[in-house]
Structure 1
């Protein structure tokens, strides 16, 4: 297959590209800057988001388009300006993807659009599946709603569209896990906040395999929860991590201290939602890592 990827040099994009190349696919990575990029076997860099760029001329025959572009929500305190950048980066990139798709004579079979479980808002008591239609009302939920709504235009072009609502993606190189694990490695790990908040997690390998699965399965469309079947509460997450790292779980991180340190961004660790991957399971996807302990043991 020919696969176009925005955000291809990021956390998930890098892992996807590596897997695609290993499986013999041809990958086109869209990038704003070309000065340090060199094309490799099976990997072609395509410039976009600059005045005068015409990426559609190179992407005419792609089979799958994957949009992962957007400023990281973990990149710093959520000031008013940073929140504007987080939203604008996602909307602008997705609008540009729509522009590319509209100009292609031969449309890709599927657009796989990054999204997040933040769509559902926060809750300690509810369980969310793709059938949960009501969105939350915090900053993340509103951002995801607008992000998905922008990508919805691809459906009007006759392109099957999948919204990957990612949970907390686990890997030792990037994402939330290295930050969570750091206190444990220093023998200072413990319960974060109340410990009752849900952590809907997924191993990076299941993210990669899951994206390959939905790309190949023509019956999968719309929102798809990318979370493991067994979410856990934060206290259990920390206890399990401590056991895997052979470190104590004993020094708590109080809610008030995290709010002072992180501001509004503290919602990422102090709040959560219990999200189940109903659609992936219903279509026959087999998770490599269903349980947290097995996932963490593989990573560490």
Structure 2
């Protein structure tokens, strides 16, 4: 299969490229940096700039499926200007791909796109699945709504659309986990707020395997890319400390302090998302790391 990937140099994209090449697929990838363009037998880069509407049209030649991961990092301070960048990096990139496919002969049958769990309501006890129609009224929830709407347009072209609503990605190479480990490692770790907020997480290996599974099985619709066993923030913090063999002695950090430090972005630390993974399991996907402790030991032992 020939697969076009956006966001191929990011945390998830770089690991996914390795897996797809290992599985004998051919990769085309889009990048905004000319210095990151490669041209090798099984992997080839192409330039694009969603902000200015530029894209190398040859990126789509012979492509069977698209994996759409592009989007500005949400773990930066949310100024008004950066909020706009978070939205546009997702919607403008989708629009550029859509317009390319609409006007260029192609054989693309499916798009598998990243999405977020922020769309779901806050919950400590109730578990939400993909049939949930309730949504949260927050900045990130609205980002997800616009993000998914921009991807849904591909249905008009007869292309199957699969959206993976991704929880906290556990990787030792980047993302949220190293930032959680750092204070614990130096003796300053503690749970956030009440510590009761639920964290729906997924090991990086399971996430990239899920993208591969979605491609191979031509999945359509929304799937929660989370492990079957979400945990509270307190449990997550305690388990990290256990795995890296460090004590926890500080009291929980009050929410108002983190809001003073991080501003609106503190939402990421105190949001409670309790999500089900049953739909992807029913489709036949098997998790290698369904439990948190095993996932963390794999990354840090």
Q: Tell me whether the two structures share a fold, i.e. TM-score over 0.5.
A: yes
- Equivalences for residues 77-116 of structure 1 within 5 A: 77-116=77-116
Check conservation: 1:244, 1:293, Cα contact below 8 A. Answer: yes
- Within 5 Å, give how 1:171-210 maps onto structure 2: 171-210=171-210
Query: What runs of 5+ residues in structure 2 fail to find an aligned partner?
Result: none
| Matching of residue 239 in structure 1 with residue 238 in structure 2 | yes
Could you say which residue in structure 2 is the equivalent of 1:151? Answer: 151
Deviation at 1:7, TM superposition (A): 0.6
Flag structure 1 segments of 5+ consecutive residues without an equivalent: none
Change (3 A) 1:58 1:208: same
Deviation at 1:70, TM superposition (A): 1.0
Distance between the aligned counterparts of 2:238 and 2:203, measured in 1?
A: 18
* Structure-2 separation of matches of 1:107 and 1:163: 20
Structure 2 contact 5–29 (Cα < 8 Å) conserved = yes
CA distance in structure 1 between the aligned counterparts of 2:33 and 2:254, rounded to whole angstroms: 42
Q: Map of 1:61-72 to 2, 5 A cutoff?
A: 61-72=62-73
TM-fit CA distance, 1:36: 4.4
1:160-208, CA deviations, whole angstroms, 9 ceiling, x for partnerless residues?
Answer: 1001100000001111000011011102211111101010000000011
Give the whole-Å Cα distance in 2 for the aligned partners of 1:12 and 1:158.
27
Could you tell me which residue of structure 2 aligns to residue 59 of structure 1? 60
Contact 1:71–1:85 (CA under 8 A) maintained in structure 2: yes
Rounded to whole Å, the distance in 2 between the matches of 1:41 and 1:234 is 45
CA contact (8 A) 1:121 1:138 kept: no
- Give the drift of 1:284: 1.0
Moved over 3 A (4+): 50-54
Alignment of 1:253 with 2:253, yes or no, is yes
Shift of residue 54, structure 1, vs aligned partner: 4.8
Counterpart of 2:21 in 1: which secondary structure?
helix
* 1:21 aligned partner: 21
Kindly report which structure 2 residues correspond to 1:270-289, keeping only aligned pairs within 5 A, or say none: 270-289=270-289
| CA deviation map 1:13-56 (0-9, x unaligned) | 10111111122111111012213433234110011127684533
- In 1, distance between residues paired with 2:57 and 2:119? 31
Query: What is the CA-CA distance between 1:88 and the residue it aligns to?
Result: 1.2
Cα distance in structure 2, aligned partners of 1:36 and 1:5? 14
Larger mean Cα displacement after TM superposition, 49-58 or 266-275: 49-58
| Maintained 8 Å contact 2:66/2:111 | yes
Cα distance in 1 for partners of 2:231, 2:53 equals: 48
Q: 1:267 to 1:58 in 2, by over 3 A?
A: closer
Q: Is the 8 A contact 1:8 1:14 kept in 2?
A: yes
When the two chains are superposed, the root-mean-square deviation of aligned CA atoms in Å is 1.5
Task: Assess, with a 3 A threshold, how the Cα gap between structure 1 residues 88 and 58 changes in structure 2: closer, same or farther.
Answer: closer
Q: How far apart, in 2, do the equivalents of 1:58 and 1:11 lie? A: 22
